Structure 1
Amino acid sequence: MNFNSALWQEIQQGESKTLEFKQQLPKGEQLVKTLIAFANTSGGKLIVGVADDRQITGIQTDEFELMDQIASIVHENCLPTLLPSIYLETLNNKTLVIVQVHRGSQLPCYLKSKGREQGTYVRIGASNRPASLDMIHELERQRLNQSFDEQIAWDFKLTEIDITPLEKAFQQRGKELNEQRLHNLKLIKTEHGITHPTHGLIILLGLYEHVEIKCSRFKGTDMTVFLDKKEYTGNLFYQLEQTELFIKNHLHLKAEILGLQRTETYEIPMAAIREALVNALVHRDYSNFGRDIKVGIYDDALNIVSPGGLPHGITLNEALQGRSEIRNKVLARVFKALGYIEQWGSGIARIQQLCQAADCQLPVFKETGDFFDIEFIRDVQPSAVSEGDQTGGQIGGQIGGQITESQRSVLLLIQNKPQISRQELAKALQINPSAVQKHIENLKAQGVIERIGGTRGYWQVKI
């Protein structure tokens, strides 16, 4: 057996999004479901003559009759017509029939006998799944080279929408968000003399219920016990900012002496985490209204999981090599205009480079079912402490360790923005202003913070 052959190595990796094994030719519809799923997703190969355990068994019938039979089944059962490549290869002196399908250009492909709504299949992991109506609509948009966020959001009236958060984001970067730019970025569209918002504008402003990030800090290495939990809604820039603060509050700090200066850095570079969060916000599937982004912090890892898998059927290997496919064109344009995206297709490479430069373990990128998962490996050395724990330790040495987790969150926000108001603290922490006031009074009484100046003054942390 040629152990160095590309086909042998491919088989040894097992069934996947783009590879399926059959010991013998499956029944007509079962064969076609697999080929349709490949065509609707990333393309792929069906290899006849390989068992599920990757053993090479070869085909037991006349290979040319089998190839003609496959061509006939595909022609009779697929719409639009699929034109697979059907060819032979030999491994271990045994003949294999390979049916290779490229990603379709006339999407969606479906089983003729069941019709488009019931007969469309997609590839999720190593299995074929019936496509939901949302998936079918997404395949149609891909055929037309459109994205969900470019389409008009008919349930919203432009006159009833406050775009102030978006205007502020542009102003902070010295740019004006006028009507012409709104049109150019496809945040609005005019039809029959009436201007409407697109899904992209509604998503950016966070007006859909499923546009949120759920953050959790778990005890240990599984999801059994929650230590902290927050759900962030509102415009995407606010969600990004608050999620970063949540993560900072639960990561370790490392101290180094560089020259005469003591510097503190997070165990995972925040620039890499920010890149991963932007990636999740820009590339997740917003057309499915039942899912959201989830951030999980464990003792040994930080996970950022976004719904939708990789866009437009690209494979994980292609994404790791820098191939760029944009699922949400409006969001991508806006985030690039605001400087959150440097170059198309550079996100994953940049995350890896930032972790490498910080002498951290490289993150793990996974496509699990219909989700994309970035896992950062945490520093679990006993000497490391989280920022919240470190604050508590410092305070504990001075005032007996009476700082609560909520008060640590207040301190972190004040450290990041000394001019922050009580109302802003309440909004960031998702608690009542009266509760914020109690935390502040407690911290002041313990000598941890001091107010400098009046209403236009700022907070000073005294630890």
Structure 2
Amino acid sequence: MRITDAVVTGLGDEHSDAAKIRPKPPYKISTVPFENGRLVRVDIDPLTPLNSDLAGPCYVVSQGPVGGAYKRVADQNQKLSDQESYNIHSRWGPREFDSEPIEGMRFQDIDEDLKQSLFQKIRSSGSRALLHTDNDVEKLTRLKVVDPNGRITLAGGLMLGTYPQQFFPRLVIDVTVHPQDAKDAVGQIRFLDRKVCDGPVPYMIQDAITRVLANLKTIRVVYGAQGFDEAEIPEDVLREAITNAVMHRDYSTFSRGERISIDIFPDRVEIISPGGLVGDRTQQNIAEGKSITRNPTLATLLRTTPIPEQQGVLAEAQGSGIPRMQAGMRQLGLPQPEFSADLVSVKVTLHRHGLLDQETRVWLDQLPNSATRQHRENLTLALLFRLGKATVAELKSALGYDSDEIRQILGHLMAEELIEGLGDGPFQISARLVEHAAVANSGFELTDLEREVFGALSATEQKSIRAIADQIGRSVSSLRPVLRRLVAADLVVPTAPPQSRRRAYLRHTNSHMDEGQR
């Protein structure tokens, strides 16, 4: 009880002299059995507007709010930086730094073409934003490009300024192409290409997209009798991701010295923007389509400013950006965008290599009923073929469909005898299809017994010769020459040397998929 009393006293009334932590976080204390005794368990919830009138971070009273706030890293307590403390403190409150004036920026620093295209776009949309304004200053004030005192705002200067970096040199997008899969990889060549994209936001975003696309491979996609070239990552996905980074980054004084980084690796593109997540957004719910921004003026201008020399605008600002990214990646059979965040930055990872490469499309086209099979069914088949087997939950995570949709897709594929599995899985490509693909790639004709052995094997579950013999009702001695022949044809993979008692066998996956993975 002494431990419990000490916890209650230390986390008790934050106005008490005995309180060791302020603000007081919501907590629940209990005891749980452990070995021959009991442990004191304390569950502590993060501070939110729903459970506290005070903003975090919590700090040790004796050390003060500046130096007394910590984060847990592995088995160590590390002090929060000033920026980390600030981001926690302001996560739930208004943070309209984009409405602050830019000292020294004049009306002559506004790009005339961008300004007029903004006005035209607003008029053509039917908006009443410019009604009863007599001059450009009134129009720009209405749009919060200019503040009530006639000074150009940060959002206005970034969107419409001729060269905003005159005032904020680090508010740029840095695109870097790396030769290996990590920045710190050993090698003489540090990067293959680099461009720092500057200027007003509309041009900066477009330049970044162009540079990324120039460093991605182009794949030939054939749909029926038509073929066309597509980038590994769709342009619309890149536009959404880069625009989101610009829209939602932190523009506070802590972060104005930091740039948005786009790192292109051989297998992925990473977009890192300064500032953690805001409000109730987490890595788990960020894709729900809820529109929350720390920069409302900038978000509005991104929604109304036309893309240079193109139709449309840079952003919808309706929470649709991430769902659009997911749909675009799914369309090419690419893994879903990955989001990670800490207290000072957000990273979006877009993987480059999709499921539906040309060789996989050829394989899918050779399957029964390929002409009428839905796109999402082809994605599921391609993923199962690559992974070997997968559950409903794993397919949902990889493809971005909900569980009911996944079950419906699997039901159709099972009805066509293209896959095998029960319940929520795991599911795998049917032995008949794998055999067909393997034989086609090897030019190897199977005897009835070889076909029976091959069908008993799995691409992911090892089986000994005894287990195979028991499964198909044959003697071990009769299977040894069969397995030797299948191994020699590269249709079956042994897991140990011939003399080993632990030797087992796996079904070899399709050879063209293996080459892609290597």
Q: Structure 1 length as normaliser, TM-score?
A: 0.60
Q: 1:167 aligns with which of 115, 125, 138?
A: 115
Alpha-carbon contact 1:75-1:81 (below 8 Å) kept: no
Q: Between the two structures, name the one with larger relative contact order (CA 8 Å, sep ≥ 6).
A: 1
In the superposition, relative to structure 1, how do residues 357 and 149 fare at CA in structure 2: closer, same or farther (>3 Å)? Answer: same
What pairs with 1:1-12 in structure 2 (closer than 5 Å)? none
Identity %: 21
Letter in 2 for 1:71: G
> 2:404 maps to what in 1?
none
Shift of 1:159: 3.6
Which of 286, 291, 314 is the matching residue for 1:340? 314
Displacement of 1:292 in angstroms is: 0.3
Q: CA deviation at 1:379?
A: 2.0
Q: Which residue of 2 aligns with 1:70?
A: 11
Change (3 A) 1:61 1:120: closer
1:209 aligns with 2:169: yes
* Residue 116 (structure 2) pairs with residue 196 (structure 1): no
Residue of structure 1 equivalent to 2:261: 294
The residue aligned with 2:286 is 319
Inter-partner Cα distance in structure 1 for 2:240 and 2:263:
16
Paired residues of 1:75 and 1:82 also in contact (CA < 8 A): no
CA contact (8 A) 1:214 1:232 kept: yes
One-letter amino acid of the counterpart of residue 162, structure 1: I
Higher strand share: 1
Distance 2:3 2:70 in 1: 31
Please say which of residues 228-237 and 88-97 is displaced more in the overlay.
Answer: 88-97
Deviation, 1:256, is 2.5
Aligned residues: 318
TM-superposed CA distance for 1:213, in Å, is: 0.7
2:49 equivalent to 1:82:
no
2:199 maps to 1:234: yes
Q: Is the 8 A contact 1:280 1:305 kept in 2?
A: yes
1:413: which partner in 2?
none
In 1, the alpha carbon distance for the partners of 2:55 and 2:26 equals 15
TM superposition shift of 1:259: 3.8
Distance 1:248 1:173 in 2: 27
Amino acid at match of 1:219: P
Unaligned runs of 5+ in 1: 1-59, 385-463
Rounded to whole Å, the distance in 2 between the matches of 1:265 and 1:124 is 44
Q: Is the 8 A contact 2:47 2:55 kept in 1?
A: no
- The answer to whether the 8 Å contact 1:309/1:372 transfers is yes
Q: 2: distance between equivalents of 1:203 and 1:249?
A: 25
* Kept in 1: contact 2:232–2:354 (CA 8 A): no
| Alpha-carbon distance in 2 for matches of 1:120, 1:150 | 32
Q: Does residue 184 of structure 1 match 2:142?
A: yes
Could you give the per-residue CA deviations for residues 327-354 of structure 1, whole angstroms, max 9, x where no partner exists? 1111111112243323532222221121
Once the 2 structures are TM-superposed, how far is the Cα of residue 373 of structure 1 from its aligned partner?
A: 1.0
Cα separation, 1, equivalents of 2:123 and 2:21: 48
Q: Distance in 1 between matches of 2:290 and 2:334?
A: 24
Match of 1:130 among 72, 80, 83: 80
1:222 is aligned to: 182
Rounded to whole Å, the distance in 2 between the matches of 1:89 and 1:168 is 67
Give the letter for the 1:285 counterpart. Answer: D
Partner residue in 1 for 2:273: 306
- Say if 1:63 and 1:97, in contact at 8 Å, map to a contact too: no
Amino acid at match of 1:170: L
Q: Which residue identity does 1:96 align to in structure 2?
A: R
CA distance in 1, matches of 2:139, 2:265: 42
Amino acid at match of 2:195: K
Alpha-carbon distance change, 286 to 252 in structure 1, aligned in 2, over 3 angstroms: same
After TM superposition, the structure 1 = structure 2 runs for residues 152-163 of structure 1, keeping only pairs within 5 Å, are 152-153=101-102, 155-163=103-111
1:96 aligned residue: 41
Structure-to-structure mapping, 1:447-462, within 5 angstroms: none
Asked if 1 retains the 8 angstrom alpha-carbon contact of 2:250 and 2:294, the reply is yes
Superposition RMSD in Å: 3.4
Unaligned runs of 5+ in 2: 125-129, 131-135, 306-312, 359-518
